[in-house]
Chains A and B, each alone.
Chain A
Amino acid sequence: MNLHYLAPEIFLTLAGAAILIGETCWGHVRRGWISVACMSVVVSAVLVAGLPVSEGTVMGMMAIDGMAQYFKLILLAGVLLVLVLSSDFSGFSDTTVEKKTQMSWGTYSALVLFSTVGLLLLVSAKDLLLVFVSLEIVSITCFILTGYLKHSKRATEAAIKYFLVGALSSGLMVYGISLFYGVFGTTNLDVFVSANLDTVPRLPLVGSLLFVLAGLGFKLALVPFHMWVPDTYEGASTPITAYLSVAPKAATFAVLVRMMAHHYDINITFLLAVVAAVTMTVGNFSALKQTNIKRMLAYSSVAQMGYIFVGFVSAGDLGIESVLIYVMAYLFMNLGAFACVMAVSNQSGTEDIHGFAGLSERSFFLAMCTTVFMLSLTGIPPLIGFIGKFFVFAAAISHGFAWLAVIGLLNSVVALFYYFKVVHEMFFKSCVQPSRISLPTPLAGCVIVTLFVTVCLGTFPNILLTWVQGIIK
């Protein structure tokens, strides 16, 4: 038994349980429990980084390879940022003042930690059963977190929509897994990866893959499985929206890559390519007419998933590298964008794009940071979003999907239009309330860290690229 490889997950689970117990003893201390959770995430990240990487597995179910480590580290970084964001979100305190009820911060932090455990299991899962179980851990904690403001009707609506769609997708996935078991006699992905597919019956195989992919597609919010995204993102409190928009998606891509990396000859590649093209296009065009910044970012995240999916469809070493790079790029720039959104909406109390009006006069720093994140999401060099796009489309062109690259790049021109609606408000409009925006330290820290990653890794991506190439080889 090599259970010590599970140390990060075990530690986080224990930390979450300890917080739950501790809360009953010491009560609701907002920053306190969040700090404890943050520290456990850091410890867990240290454990992940410290554990050796090998080609072996834990109980034949979990990979402990470089890719798992890569995803775990960026996910933990993302979770850390989300926790820090949560400590400053004013939406929470508003509700508590109004309703005279205490937000239960311990439970909140513990739920985030449990969800993180699910993510960590998911990225190393090598067995469809473990994929399913860990996906459910992530989903169920996310349902609760989405509806955590239980007095807010919007949040409840968001949670219910999310839950219904999530339940449906789980059902589809289980059905796919059962077909998979019927074909291979096991749920282990290693068997599938090394199988000679000419000897297996084609129809049930393709069927099972399509069902599993559809289930994962709901999590990724690929078109046509994206309907839940705008309402859920709008209703959930901003830190949770930020979390939903990056963490489960990044982890789901890990599963996709692990599952499909070696089998692109099953005649569904073209279908997947079409899904990527449609996802980008629908996401971007739907984002164009949004006036609520969270809804806009929701559709933008749909489109961004489409870009990453291009890399996945293109496959090959370069394709997988591009997925890994883009996932990381997306995680940091999107969290940065949400941090900026939170800073603004905390002050102005609105999540409308017009809330950004005149931001350059209220806080030039924040306006510049938002601009950088919007530029990065658009894919303008030398920012990390560009590096992601560059490699995704490089993969597409080198593997015969030049048409996908054309569609994707034209899409980024469309995307410019709505991302720059925000910039337009910030720099070209004058503000309604000319009060200065002051950033609380934790929030400023989040913005600075994400900005640093966005700019530095965008300008000097060699470190990242070497890391990722090392993983793939």
Chain B
Amino acid sequence: MGVLSYITFIPAVGSLLILFVHSEKKSLIRGVATLFSAVSFVLSVWLCMNFDASGSAMQFGEKLAWIPAFQIYYKLGIDGLSLPLVVLTTLLSLISVVASYGIQNRVKEYFFWFLLLETGMIGVFVALDFFLFYVFWEITLVPMYFLIGIWGGPQKEYAAVKFFLYTLFGSVFLLLGMLGLYFASDPHTFDLIELAQQSQYFVGTKFILIFLALFIGFAVKIPVFPFHTWLPLAHVEAPTAVSVILAGVLLKMGTYGLLRISYPILPEVTSLFMYPLILLAFINIIYGAFCAMAQKDMKKMVAYSSINHMGYCLLGMAAITGANASAGIQGAVLQMINHGIITGALFLLVGVIYDQAHTRDINAFGGLGAKLPIFAGIMTIQVMASLGLPGLSGFVSEFLCFLGAFGQAQYRIWVVLSVIGIVVTAAFFLKMLKDVFMGGFNSKWEGVLRDMSARELVTTVPLVILTILFGVYPKLVLDLMDSTLTNLIQKVIGG
């Protein structure tokens, strides 16, 4: 057992401990949850400091025989692709735990599920055995079902079931693809690294089917049009902290899966599918943006903007066969991180206002800029980052994604058209800022709304700092993943 196991399972240990705490001792439960997710976060920061960014090999590896009778191993490891996502997960989890202090109803169950969810998410990013990956992947579904279904908004039960059904639908295809790969490999293995080493044999119709099966599995999570319909519902109905996790981490599991599994193991087929992928990216960008524009509910708007932002990520990923592959893939991974941070913060901020006003209707507010200056300031920074203002993190990653995709001549038309998405994003976010923060103050809220509390600041300010930091100095993250991603690109292009 090494540090990766500790990072992964410490939250699970915390969740089991919580089961033994009396349900009336709410602060103790919150304390335990905070402690365990904080330990996990600290360890992941330690990981960052001790990570050797110069090599593309897996680090901090662990391998134990788990089901040797079927060549299944408990194998963990991280590289430049998974490390940033692990840190993102532990950070957002810790922040979400703190942001969940406001939950008063069934506190014990809430934190039990929440910590279990954290273990599942971290596990997905550190697992190097496909079977183990799948187990963690599925473990995330169950807690999420309960978190949405018990503590969510008015349509929570419907949203929870829909989320579960959709994602399970995706997972079964993932399972099919996984078994397909296992039986196609020789010697049979679930080891993702070994499978990638055998990739030159994975050519032909069968592997196109396997790629499609895997793609459906990942596409539901990302979510790629037309598998996206669970997202707005789940994001809107989920409690604030859970929305943060959904948008910040869960969606990234899909894109991470593509980069970790589909790309290096099925490079030949991947190159075939890059053109369809850019079309899907285009649809995601445009469709997400226009849907967001039509929303009156702030949370829904942010949720649809996630579909749009994951579109940028796909755009960058589709660039892998082009001349600017490096920019595209780096942009895509950076976009995952940035979107997690920015959108996470946006959901928290929407939560702040909703907790007090009990509405998220954009038109219900006005003139809040003068009344709640800190809230308005932070919100403005995050919104600007989300719409891609230079100097903030969103711009860097979106720019890299566009640059990457532009490197391939036949993609250019779609890249150019996708720029419309940026304009629309700017339009709806600016309109929201105008309606909420400017204009006359709605006297209904006199005395109801207050500015951000200390706890709310503690949860959002770190994200704001990161947004600015990665906007000014993205090298911090890019350096971590550079050699890993270069290796991945060679793998796919070299076929």
Q: Which residues of A contact B (CB under 8 A)?
A: 360, 364, 375, 378, 380-382, 386, 390-391, 393-394, 397-398, 402, 405-406, 409-410, 412-413, 416-417, 420, 424, 427-428, 460-462, 465-466, 469
Residue ID in chain B nearest A405 by CB atoms: B176
When the two chains form the complex, which single residue of B109, B134, B160 contacts A360, counting CB atoms closer than 8 Å?
B109
- In this assembly, does B161 line the interface, its C-beta being within 8 Å of a C-beta of chain A? yes
5 pairs from A and B in contact (CB 8 Å cutoff) = A380-B142, A386-B138, A397-B176, A416-B168, A465-B69
A461 to B169, CA, bound (A): 25
Chain A positions within 8 Å of B276 at CB level? none
Chain B positions within 8 Å of A417 at CB level? 161, 165
- In this assembly, does B183 line the interface, its C-beta being within 8 Å of a C-beta of chain A? yes
Which of A360, A381, A465 has the most chain B CB within a 10 Å cutoff?
A381
Nearest Cβ in chain B — how far from A391, in angstroms? 8
Nearest Cβ in chain A — how far from B21, in angstroms? 12
Q: Is B134 in contact with A397, judged by CB distance below 8 angstroms?
A: no
When the two chains form the complex, which single residue of A382, A398, A402, A428 contacts B149, counting CB atoms closer than 8 Å?
A428
Nearest Cβ in chain A — how far from B314, in angstroms? 25
Q: Is B139 in contact with A397, judged by CB distance below 8 angstroms?
A: no
When the two chains form the complex, which single residue of B69, B139, B149, B183 contacts A466, counting CB atoms closer than 8 Å?
B69
Interface string of B131-160 (1 = CB under 8 A from A): 000110011011001100110000011001
Residue ID in chain B nearest A391 by CB atoms: B70
Chain B positions within 8 Å of A460 at CB level? 66-67
Chain A positions within 8 Å of B168 at CB level? 378, 412-413, 416
Q: Is A380 in contact with B138, judged by CB distance below 8 angstroms?
A: yes
- In this assembly, does B411 line the interface, its C-beta being within 8 Å of a C-beta of chain A? no
Given A397-B176, A410-B172, A416-B168, also A381-B134 (CB < 8 A): yes
Q: Is B172 in contact with A412, judged by CB distance below 8 angstroms?
A: yes
- In this assembly, does B225 line the interface, its C-beta being within 8 Å of a C-beta of chain A? no
Interface string of B160-183 (1 = CB under 8 A from A): 110011001100110110011011
When the two chains form the complex, which single residue of B69, B139, B141 contacts A382, counting CB atoms closer than 8 Å?
B139
When the two chains form the complex, which single residue of B139, B149, B157, B165 contacts A413, counting CB atoms closer than 8 Å?
B165
A106 to B142, CA, bound (A): 44
Q: Is B69 in contact with A381, judged by CB distance below 8 angstroms?
A: no
Residue ID in chain A nearest B173 by CB atoms: A409
A410 to B182, CA, bound (A): 20
Q: Is A462 in contact with B164, judged by CB distance below 8 angstroms?
A: no
- In this assembly, does B68 line the interface, its C-beta being within 8 Å of a C-beta of chain A? yes
Please give 10 more A-B residue pairs, beta carbons under 8 A apart, in addition to A424-B149, A460-B66. Answer: A380-B138, A381-B134, A381-B138, A398-B179, A409-B172, A409-B173, A413-B169, A413-B172, A424-B161, A462-B69
Chain B positions within 8 Å of A398 at CB level? 179, 183
Residue ID in chain B nearest A360 by CB atoms: B109
Nearest Cβ in chain A — how far from B250, in angstroms? 16
Q: Is B165 in contact with A381, judged by CB distance below 8 angstroms?
A: no
Q: Is B67 in contact with A397, judged by CB distance below 8 angstroms?
A: no
Q: Is B176 in contact with A380, judged by CB distance below 8 angstroms?
A: no
Query: Which residues of chain B from 59 to 115 have a CB within 8 Å of any chain A CB?
Result: 65-70, 109
Q: Is A381 in contact with B67, judged by CB distance below 8 angstroms?
A: no
A451 to B182, CA, bound (A): 30
A313 to B487, CA, bound (A): 44
Residue ID in chain B nearest A395 by CB atoms: B179
Interface string of B165-204 (1 = CB under 8 A from A): 1001100110110011011000000000000000000000
Residues of B in contact with A, size category: 20 to 34
Which of A393, A397, A398 has the most chain B CB within a 10 Å cutoff?
A397
Chain A positions within 8 Å of B172 at CB level? 409-410, 412-413
Residue ID in chain B nearest A465 by CB atoms: B69
A320 to B138, CA, bound (A): 26
Given A397-B176, A424-B157, also A380-B165 (CB < 8 A): no
Chain A positions within 8 Å of B69 at CB level? 462, 465-466, 469
A398 to B156, CA, bound (A): 40
Chain A positions within 8 Å of B138 at CB level? 380-381, 386
Q: Is B179 in contact with A375, judged by CB distance below 8 angstroms?
A: no
Nearest Cβ in chain A — how far from B19, in angstroms? 9
Q: Is B179 in contact with A427, judged by CB distance below 8 angstroms?
A: no
Q: Is A394 in contact with B142, judged by CB distance below 8 angstroms?
A: no
Residue ID in chain B nearest A421 by CB atoms: B161
A465 to B173, CA, bound (A): 24
Which of B146, B176, B180, B182 has the most chain A CB within a 10 Å cutoff?
B176
Chain B positions within 8 Å of A420 at CB level? 145, 161, 164
Chain A positions within 8 Å of B150 at CB level? 427-428
A393 to B173, CA, bound (A): 12
Chain A positions within 8 Å of B70 at CB level? 391, 465
A406 to B169, CA, bound (A): 11
Given A412-B172, A428-B157, also A394-B179 (CB < 8 A): yes
A469 to B70, CA, bound (A): 10
Chain A positions within 8 Å of B164 at CB level? 416, 420
Q: Is A409 in contact with B176, judged by CB distance below 8 angstroms?
A: yes
A460 to B179, CA, bound (A): 19
Nearest Cβ in chain A — how far from B219, in angstroms? 16
Chain B positions within 8 Å of A378 at CB level? 168
Nearest Cβ in chain A — how far from B191, in angstroms? 16
Q: Is A409 in contact with B67, judged by CB distance below 8 angstroms?
A: no
A382 to B134, CA, bound (A): 10
Chain B positions within 8 Å of A466 at CB level? 69
Which of B68, B156, B175 has the most chain A CB within a 10 Å cutoff?
B175
Q: Is A393 in contact with B179, judged by CB distance below 8 angstroms?
A: yes
Residue ID in chain A nearest B169 by CB atoms: A413
Residue ID in chain B nearest A387 by CB atoms: B67
Q: Is B139 in contact with A381, judged by CB distance below 8 angstroms?
A: yes
Chain B positions within 8 Å of A465 at CB level? 67, 69-70
Chain A positions within 8 Å of B156 at CB level? 428
A260 to B161, CA, bound (A): 41
Q: Is A380 in contact with B141, judged by CB distance below 8 angstroms?
A: yes
When the two chains form the complex, which single residue of B66, B157, B160, B180 contacts A397, counting CB atoms closer than 8 Å?
B180
Those 10 A-B pairs whose CB atoms lie nearest each other, nearest first: A409-B172, A465-B69, A381-B135, A397-B179, A462-B67, A398-B183, A381-B138, A413-B169, A466-B69, A413-B168
A424 to B142, CA, bound (A): 12
Chain B positions within 8 Å of A413 at CB level? 165, 168-169, 172
Q: Is A382 in contact with B135, judged by CB distance below 8 angstroms?
A: yes
Nearest Cβ in chain B — how far from A402, in angstroms? 8
Nearest Cβ in chain A — how far from B130, in angstroms? 12
Q: Is B149 in contact with A393, judged by CB distance below 8 angstroms?
A: no
Q: Is A375 in contact with B142, judged by CB distance below 8 angstroms?
A: yes
When the two chains form the complex, which single residue of B68, B149, B182 contacts A462, counting CB atoms closer than 8 Å?
B68
A43 to B282, CA, bound (A): 69
Chain A positions within 8 Å of B135 at CB level? 381-382
Nearest Cβ in chain B — how far from A451, in angstroms? 14
Chain A positions within 8 Å of B180 at CB level? 397, 402
Residue ID in chain B nearest A417 by CB atoms: B165
Given A360-B109, A375-B142, A427-B149, also A397-B169 (CB < 8 A): no
Residue ID in chain A nearest B65 by CB atoms: A462
Residue ID in chain B nearest A467 by CB atoms: B69
Nearest Cβ in chain A — how far from B435, in angstroms? 35
Chain B positions within 8 Å of A462 at CB level? 65-69
A381 to B161, CA, bound (A): 18
A393 to B182, CA, bound (A): 12
Nearest Cβ in chain B — how far from A471, in angstroms? 12
Nearest Cβ in chain B — how far from A395, in angstroms? 10
Residue ID in chain B nearest A458 by CB atoms: B135
A412 to B161, CA, bound (A): 14
A428 to B160, CA, bound (A): 10
Chain B positions within 8 Å of A427 at CB level? 146, 149-150
A416 to B150, CA, bound (A): 18
Residue ID in chain A nearest B112 by CB atoms: A368
Nearest Cβ in chain B — how far from A144, in angstroms? 41
A397 to B176, CA, bound (A): 8
When the two chains form the complex, which single residue of A382, A393, A416, A424 contacts B175, counting CB atoms closer than 8 Å?
A393
Nearest Cβ in chain B — how far from A435, in angstroms? 18
Nearest Cβ in chain A — how far from B209, in angstroms? 8
Chain A positions within 8 Å of B68 at CB level? 462
